[in-house]
Amino acid sequence: MTLPLQDYGLMRAIIICVIYLSSFFSPLVFAAGKAEHIVVVVWDGLRPDFVTEQFTPTLYKLGREGVVFQNHHAVYLSATEVNGTALATGAYPAHSGILANKEFRPSINPLKPIGTEARESVRQGDQLTGGHYLNQPTLAEILQSQGRKTVIAGAKPVVLLHDRAERGDDDAVGINLFAGGTLPNGTLERITKLLGPFPALEQTKVKRDDWTTRTLVGPLWDGGVPPFSLLWLSEPDYSQHETGPGSATSLAVLKNSDHNLALVLEKLEAKGLRAKTDIFVVSDHGFSTISGIADVAGALTKAGFKAAREFKTPPAKDDILAVGNGGSVLLYITGHDPELTRKVVEFLQGEAFTGVLFTRQSLPGTFALETVGLNSPAAPDVVISLRWSAEKNVAGTPGLVVCDEAGRVAGQGMHVTLSPFDMHNTLIAAGPDFRHGVVNLLPTGNVDIAPTVLWVFGIKPPKPMDGRIMTEALTGTGTIDQASETSRLEARQEHEKFVWQQYLKITKVNGVSYIDEGNGSATPR
C-alpha cells in the first residue's frame, strides 16, 4: 500500500514543523563554527589501517592537514544501515529505531525479515507510525527545518534513511540521490540527461561510485554548494565482501574512492569554498575475513527447536525466526517464553560459532540488550555476535569472523561482529573548525558526527543526542580536558560439560559509551 504524494508532503511538513518549534523553544547555540559548508564523505567499510600514502594519498594528505581520529568506533551492530542511521541521528540503535540491516517487523511483513533501508520498508514504517520510522530526527531534517538546504548522494540505498520524506519537484530544501533513485522524483530525469543512467552492477561498484560523485559535484552542486552535503561511496565495502580485505581488488578500489574524494575537494577549490568547508571522511564500520560459515537456524532446528529463516504461515507460540546479518544473528521467539529463551541461550553457549550473547531477559552468561544500546521495543529476544579471532587472512590482513549469510564462503569479507576490526572504523576531518596536523587518541564514534556538525552550524538539536561534540579536535572550543575510562564486563555460566565465559570491553568519554570489542568461548570441564 502507498500513500498519495500530497500525504507524504503533509507528513514531511509536520515533521519539519515539529523540529522547528522544538528548536524555537530550545534556543539556538549562537554560531559556534567558522565553516559555511560541511561535506561528509562515507567510504563504506574502510578500515583505518588501509589509509596509507600508497593506497589513499588524498585521504592521507587530508589527515595530515586536519585531525586523524585514531580511536573511532562504529555502533553495534557494526552494519551499514545501523551506522548510517547513527551518523544521521547521533543516536544509538535503541533510540534511532534501526537495530540491524535485516530485522523482523511483523507489522510490515509478518512472515519474513525486512531490509531496513528498503524504500518499501521505509514507506510502510512511516505509514504505521505517523512518520516515525526513525525515532529521532536526522541531520537533514533538522537543517531543513532551519531553512538550510541539504544534498544527499549515495551509491547505496542506506542514504534514504538520512532524508526519506517524499516531496514535490518544486521543493528546493533538500535533494536525495539514493542508488539511482531521487527525491524529488523528477530530479532523476535531469541527472540522467546529463550523465546517463545509474550504472549496472559489475565485478566492483566503482562505476556506481563515480556516477554518484559526478552527480554530486556536477548537477547537484551547479546551483551552488549547499550548507550540508553527504556523499556515500559503496567501495571498498562491496569488493571486500567479494574478495576479502587486503585483496588486490580491494586495494585497487581504494584508489578509486580516493580519486572521488579528490574530485570533491577539487570542485570545492574551483568554487573558492575549500577554506570555508569542513570535510569529514568516515566509514560506517570496519571489516574482517570470513573464517567459516554458521547456520544458526539449522543448528537450532537440529537441536529440536522450531527455528526458521522465514515463516511459511503465521508463527505459533515458540516458533523462532533467525535473522542472519552476517557477523550477528537476531532471534525472535514467538511468545517471548522465558523458559524457552533460557534453553536457547544454554544451547548457544555450547556452540563454536557463538561469540557474545545479549538477551531481553536477564539470563546467566549473557549481557542485557541495553548494554550495547539495543533495547528498543522492536528488539529481538536474543542477539548473537558470532566469534572472531585476530588471525590473518591470505593477504596478511588480521581479523577473522564466523558468518551467517547465505551464499558467502570462507575467504570473502564480512563484518557485524564485536571484533575490534569491525568495531573500529575510520574518521578524518579537516577544515576551518578543526585543528591542524593532530592525531586524536580519545575515543570517538559515529554517534558524534551529528552533534559536531550541528555545533559547527550553531544549532541545538531538538532532542538530546547520544553522541558528543568532539571538542578536543575543534579550534573554537578552547582547552578541553577530557578523559576516557575503560571497563571490562564479564559473564559466566557453568554447564555440566563446559563453562561458558564472555566479555565486553567498553570505553566512556563524558558519558558516551564506545564498544571496543567482545568475544566468548566454552571451556570443557
Provide the strand spans (E) within 179-268.
Answer: 181-183, 228-233
| Residue 124 included in any domain | no
Q: In whole angstroms, what is the distance from residue 83 CA to residue 424 CA?
A: 12
Distance CA 371, CA 247 (A): 35
Mean pLDDT of all residues in 10-36: 51
pLDDT value of position 481: 65
150/258 same-domain check: yes
Establish how many alpha carbons lie within 13 A of residue 45's alpha carbon, considering only the half-sphere containing its beta carbon. Answer: 26
Residue 431 counted as domain residue: yes
520: in domain: yes
pLDDT at position 168 is: 87
- Percentage of the residues of the chain whose pLDDT score is greater than 70: 93
For residue 181, pLDDT over 80 is answered with yes
pLDDT exceeds cutoff 50 at 1: no
Q: How far, in Å, are 89, 166, 372, 500 from residue 83 at the CA level?
A: 10, 23, 13, 30
pLDDT tens-digit readout, 345-359: 999 999 999 999 999
Q: Same domain, yes or no, for 219 and 266? A: yes
pLDDT tens by residue, 320-354: 999 999 999 999 999 999 999 999 999 999 999 99
Label residue 38 by pLDDT band (50, 70, 90).
Answer: very high
Band (pLDDT 50/70/90 cuts) for residue 11 is: very low
Inside any domain, residue 128:
no
What number is the average pLDDT over the span 136-154? 97
Q: What Å distances lie between residue 107 and 112, 118, 126, 267, 335, CA to CA?
A: 11, 15, 12, 45, 16
Task: Report the 10 Å Cβ neighbour count for 490.
Answer: 11
> With 80 as the cut, is the pLDDT of residue 134 above it?
yes
Q: 282 and 297: one domain?
A: no
In CATH, what number is assigned to the domain containing residue 183? 3.40.720.10
Task: Give domain status of residue 253, yes or no.
Answer: yes
With a cut of 50, say whether residue 19 has pLDDT above it. Answer: no
What are the tens digits of pLDDT across the range 256-302? 999 999 999 999 999 999 999 999 999 999 999 999 999 999 999 99
Q: Per-residue pLDDT tens for 464-512? A: 999 999 999 999 776 566 789 999 999 999 999 999 999 999 999 999 9
Domain identity same for 275 and 378: no
Residue 518 pLDDT > 50, yes or no? yes
- Does 222 lie in the same domain as 324? no
pLDDT in tens, 400-438: 999 999 999 999 999 999 999 999 999 999 999 999 999
> Do residues 334 and 279 both lie within one domain?
no
Among 152-156, 169-173, 193-197, the range scoring the smallest mean pLDDT is: 169-173
Mean pLDDT of 302-330: 98
Please compute the mean of the pLDDT values over residues 193-214 and round it to a whole number. 97
- Residue ranges with strand state E in 438-483: 438-440, 444-445
Same domain, 193 and 337: no
H and E: helices and strands count for the chain: 14, 26
Identify whether residues 440 and 398 lie together within a single domain. Answer: no
Please report whether residue 177 resides in a domain.
yes
Does 390 share its domain with 325? yes
Q: Is residue 104 part of a domain?
A: no
Are residues 272 and 332 located together in one domain of the fold? no
240 residue type, one letter: Q
Name the average pLDDT for the chain.
93
Neighbours of 410 (CB within 10 A): 14
Reply yes or no on whether the pLDDT at 31 is more than 70: no
For residue 102, the tally of other CB atoms under 10 A from its CB is: 20
Distance between CA atoms of 281 and 67, rounded to whole angstroms? 11
| Structural domain count of the chain | 2
Q: What is the pLDDT at residue 4?
A: 36
**From CA 198, how far away is CA 205, in angstroms rounded?**
11
Find the domain containing 354 and state its range.
290-414+487-524
> Are 168 and 75 found together in one domain?
yes
What pLDDT band is residue 171 in, cutting at 50, 70 and 90?
low
Residues 166 and 262 grouped into a single domain: yes
